[in-house]
């Protein structure tokens, strides 16, 4: 039986001033999972992470990390967790290696041992050459990677990443994704919060959508995307003469070379291409207008609003 990496039952958090950030959250994340927590700003994602890591005190509810109740022994639970926060939170005047080695020290790892662990982690995150550089002199992407190195130095079983690729360029984002996939395959459970829905779709096995402090959906990513009844595509075409008539499809002609078509669950892209071919229209390019999870996320958030 798979072990639970995180078990949250009836979690509530009300901040001073009365803001109710979490309204009875129940969530289970299994060991080895790559789990995404999706939600808009202020939905409660960072509060959940804060409670898991000991930065935020819960108001009510139970939280277990690998079966350790954080109320009974949070320090024991913390040993198993590495966290990459949303905002840079290291001492900008310190050198890269000092920041990582100090973090190891807080986890009870001696300097000698930490130095041994440092090299492979900094090398894989492409920071080894910068080990003697002050953190303030690093680029934004390097700072993000530094926080990942810091979170991994004690070899956590659970890695929590709060918006890890916010403000990171596309190339770096993909190299970070590859690294996260690798450590997940090696056995690290990953909980990721993100605004980038394609990030969750590309990386995660399971997803929970949180809105106004409540989990409104929790399911495997594949199951969620398959539940969509349609998908919109943007199609680059040529050869259109006069009016366009695609009887079986919902569509709109953006200009003489661009078409937007909604393909329903019972329809296929092949049928669409065949229909266009019959009209002597050539398909030059076809791309999904939005990714499936994004559509689903918007549907769910709108539904819950209504």
Partner 1 sequence: MNFTAFYTIVRKEVTRFLRIWSQTLLPPVITQSLYFIIFGTFIGSQISDIQGVSYMAFIIPGLVMMGVINSAFMNVVSSFYSTKFMKNYEEFMVSPASNQAIIFGYVIGGMLRGLLVGLLIFAVSIFFEQPEIANFGIILLFIILTSFVFALGGLINGIFAKNWDDISIFPTFVLTPLIYLGGVFYSIKDLPEVWQTVSKFNPILYMVDGFRYGFYGISDVPVLYSFGLLAGLTILLFGINIYLMRKGIGLKN
For partner 1, give the closer residue by CB, 150 or 217. 150
Q: Where does residue 280 fall: left (phi above 0), alpha (psi -120 to 50 degrees), or beta otherwise?
A: left
Q: Which stretch binds partner 1 (CB under 8 A): 1-9, 76-84, 189-197, 297-305?
A: 76-84
Q: In what order do the strands lie in the sheet with 258-264?
A: 250-255, 258-264, 230-238, 282-288
Q: Which stretch binds partner 1 (CB under 8 A): 53-61, 137-145, 174-182, 192-200?
A: 53-61
| Pair 205, 198: CB distance under 8 Å | no
- Contacts of 170 by beta carbon, 8 Å cutoff, 6+ apart: none
Q: Exposure of 242 by Cβ count < 10 A (0-12 exposed, 13-18 middle, 19+ buried)?
A: exposed
Member of 20, 91, 139, 284 binding partner 1 (CB under 8 A): 91
Member of 39, 44, 50, 141 binding partner 1 (CB under 8 A): 50
What pairs with residue 236 in β-bridges? 258, 285
- Contacts of 133 by beta carbon, 8 Å cutoff, 6+ apart: 95, 96
Q: From the CB of 279, what's the least distance to partner 1, in Å?
A: 60
For partner 1, give the closer residue by CB, 83 or 272. 83
For partner 1, the binding residues in 2-21 under the rule CB under 8 A are 15
For partner 1, give the closer residue by CB, 89 or 185. 89
Q: From the CB of 55, what's the least distance to partner 1, in Å?
A: 6
Judged by CB under 8 A, does residue 157 bind partner 1? no
The Cα 78–Cα 100 span in angstroms is: 17
Judged by CB under 8 A, does residue 61 bind partner 1? no
Query: Where along the sequence are the contacts to partner 1 (CB under 8 A)?
Result: 15, 50, 53-57, 75-76, 78-79, 81, 83, 85, 87, 89-92, 98, 102-103, 105-110, 150
């Amino acid at each position: 039986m798979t072990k639970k990496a995180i078990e949250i039952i009836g979690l509530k958090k009300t901040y001073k001033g009365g803001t109710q950030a979490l309204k009875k959250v129940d969530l289970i994340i299994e060991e080895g999972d790559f789990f995404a927590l999706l939600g808009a700003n202020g939905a409660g994602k960072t509060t959940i992470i804060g409670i898991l890591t000991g930065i935020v005190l819960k108001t009510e509810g139970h939280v277990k990390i690998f079966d350790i109740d954080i109320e009974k022994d949070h320090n024991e639970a913390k040993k198993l967790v590495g966290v990459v926060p949303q905002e840079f939170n290291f001492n900008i005047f310190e050198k890269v290696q000092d920041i990582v080695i100090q973090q190891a020290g807080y986890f009870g790892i001696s300097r000698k041992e930490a130095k041994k662990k440092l090299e492979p982690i900094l090398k894989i995150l492409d920071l080894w050459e910068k080990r003697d550089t002050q953190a303030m002199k690093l680029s934004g992407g390097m700072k993000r990677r530094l926080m990942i190195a810091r979170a991994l130095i004690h070899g956590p079983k659970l890695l929590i990443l709060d918006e890890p690729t916010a403000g990171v360029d596309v190339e770096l984002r993909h190299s970070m994704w590859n690294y996260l996939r690798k450590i997940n395959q090696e056995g690290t459970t990953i909980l990721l919060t993100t605004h980038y829905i394609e990030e969750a779709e590309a990386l995660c096995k399971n997803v929970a959508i949180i809105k106004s402090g409540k989990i409104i959906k929790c399911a495997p990513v594949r199951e969620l995307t398959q539940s969509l009844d349609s998908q919109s595509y943007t199609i680059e075409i040529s050869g259109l003469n006069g009016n366009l008539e695609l009887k079986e499809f919902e569509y709109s002609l953006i200009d003489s070379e661009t078409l937007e078509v909604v393909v329903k669950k019972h329809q296929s892209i092949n049928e669409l291409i065949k229909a266009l071919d019959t009209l002597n229209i050539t398909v030059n390019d076809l791309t999904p207008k939005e990714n499936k999870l994004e559509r689903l996320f918007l549907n769910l958030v709108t539904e819950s609003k209504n």
